[in-house]
Amino acid sequence: MLQAKNAEFHLNNKPTQILSGAIHYFRIVPEYWKDRLQKLKALGLNTVETYVPWNFHEPKKGKYEFTRLANLEKFIETAQELDLYVIVRPSPYICAEWEMGGLPAWLLAEKDITIRSSHPVFLKHVAEYYNELLPRLERFLQKNGGPIIAMQIENEYGAYGNDQVYLEFFKEQYAKHGMDTFLFTSDGPNFIEQGSLPDITTTLNFGSRVEESFATLEKYKPGSPKMVAEFWIGWFDHWSGKHHTRDPKEAAEVFEELIKQKISVNFYMFHGGTNFGFMNGANHYDKYYPTITSYDYDSLLSENGEITEKYKEVKNVLRKYTEVPEDVENVIETKNLGTVTLHESVSLFDTLHEVGTVTENLTPKSMEDVGQQYGYILYSTNVNKKGLLKLDTEPIRDRAYIYINGKYETTVYINDEEEEVLLDFPKDTNTLEILVENMGRANYGKHLIDKKGLTKNIWLGGQYWFNWVMHSIELNHLPKDYSLAKDGRYPKFFRGTFDAKEQHDTFVDTEGFSKGNIFINGFNLGRYWNAAGPQQRLYLPGPLLKEKNNVVTILELENTSTNEIRLEDKPKLG
């Protein structure tokens, strides 16, 4: 078993340098897990690390999911088949630029709860989830012949709070479920005091300034074994931002500082993958920064799993200090599959009976309060007042399209400098509709409690308005009948088919479209937002394709100048 002895890590009673890479199984189609893990091993690493996102495994309270992308056990088995060790970071909070940092949105419907604390309601939910999760991991512990050598307690907790009772709770839960393995915490150097426990190994997260960072650890915990639980070699991107890159040679040079001192390292990320569906998170500091669909992260492997120059530079460093396996080539091809025409279209407003569920209430409710997690929600009410009225947009999270009497009026966004708009109501009695998009809940910091939709009643024309109808649109079901097209308004669904004889990876280019979601055979690839960038194409893994009659569906929110998409052989970021 892994132990901390004399300022070193010992595995099976031998001094050990953990050389690990982060791979998130939930961001990669299962058919490619083995390929990514083989490339990790071929680099010369001996361990794979992964987070476990609570919201992915318990999307609805008491409804658990451990199949397909959520098949954690299969991922660990695949790592074991390749003789790799595994480090697991099992929630409840993971950050990871993932929706709400992995916390399930249904927690926000609780009236009395304090997340990431020892509040009894929160701990009860975590304990019930762990009753399902931890027994699935117990058989993979090293003591039982499995590959798991370590597990984390919470995640970067010092950057959030100082509830030591909460951190002790995880030790109790692990003991209760027989999780007899090496435990650790991880934080940035400036947060270790609040996020650590005295009898648990403290690890660090950083991308540079090696000596300074470990000097902080030594001051706090003298003689502690040294590990970078997250060695940041790239960074994530957000909409309306630039594509982040880090010079491969510079990243490899910092890595060499670590390896020559025999410091254990976990590359964050070895392979990033994709924020499929609605699972991208957001950062909220001075303003709101939603993360893009790609989680390429400028990692050692690209989003579609190709070996990068950074991978090669790191391997050159490793060759100086240890034996490394032979190089491997990328065997998964990408292909240009040509142009696809989307022959059919229908307005979202004509398909609400197929894609939405209805709730009525005196006041508008947030997504969470009507039992909705992701997607869109349409609010409507009658306004029996004529003339120009100011609408306070502050309660709208995150982006909304406003309609009066069936006519589009304007778009508002959480980042707008002005938090009010002037609307013209032409009749004595008018229908007001507000279609709100949840663009991803905050995954870090003080805005982690991040309700979506209308978070309170709106203030319009100097008064509140009552009696609302809400349509929750999570898009778990797509429209089937396109013959109902009567309403000409956007958002609109567009649909077409194409063949993919060899089922290669490809990238969907939606140039001419504006903003929305792409579905392939019902699978939500994620969001596009061409005007904002930096991402211009969405990765489409080959295993999602069929040889014949693949159905592509696009929900376009704003407008389009074309009814065609292109399937290209390369990504486009920046």
Do domains 2-321 and 338-346+478-568 share one topology? The answer is no
Among 156, 303, 368, 474, which one carries the catalytic annotation?
156
In the chain, where the domains are located? 2-321, 338-346+478-568, 357-473
The CATH homologous superfamily for domain 338-346+478-568 is Galactose-binding domain-like (2.60.120.260)
CB 273 within 8 A of CB 27: yes
Instruction: Render the burial of 514-542: b for 16+ CB within 10 Å, e for the rest.
Output: bbbbbbbeebbbbbbbbeebbbbbbbbbb
CB 341 within 8 A of CB 567: no
Residue 251 has a pLDDT of 98
Read off the pLDDT of residues 29-55 as tens digits, 9 standing for 90 and up: 999 999 999 999 999 999 999 999 999
Residue 4 has a pLDDT of 92
Residue 248 has a pLDDT of 98
- Tell me the two tokens of residue 279: 């699972």
Q: Is the pLDDT of residue 485 over 90?
A: no
Q: Could you identify the residue written with the tokens 């409840």?
A: 92
Total residues found in the chain within this entry = 574
- Tell me the two tokens of residue 127: 């304990």
Q: Is the pLDDT of residue 346 over 90?
A: yes
Residue 216 has a pLDDT of 97
Among 49, 99, 230, 303, which one carries the catalytic annotation?
230
- Tell me the two tokens of residue 21: 């890479």
Residue 229 has a pLDDT of 98
Concerning whether 65 is annotated as a catalytic residue, the answer is no
CATH topology of domain 357-473: Jelly Rolls (2.60.120)
Residue 484 has a pLDDT of 83
- Sorting pLDDT into bands at 50, 70 and 90, what band is 56? very high
Gap between the Cα atoms of 279 and 523, Å rounded: 13
Amino acid identity of residue 350, one-letter, is D
Gap between the Cα atoms of 197 and 169, Å rounded: 11
The CATH homologous superfamily for domain 2-321 is Glycosidases (3.20.20.80)
The dihedral over CA atoms of 30, 53, 16, 76, expressed in degrees to the nearest 10, equals -30
Concerning whether 354 is annotated as a catalytic residue, the answer is no
Q: Is the pLDDT of residue 6 over 90?
A: no
Q: What is the arithmetic mean of pLDDT over 74-103?
A: 98
- Tell me the two tokens of residue 185: 């915490």
Q: Is the pLDDT of residue 187 over 90?
A: yes
Q: Is the pLDDT of residue 192 over 90?
A: yes
- Sorting pLDDT into bands at 50, 70 and 90, what band is 329? confident
CB 515 within 8 A of CB 530: yes
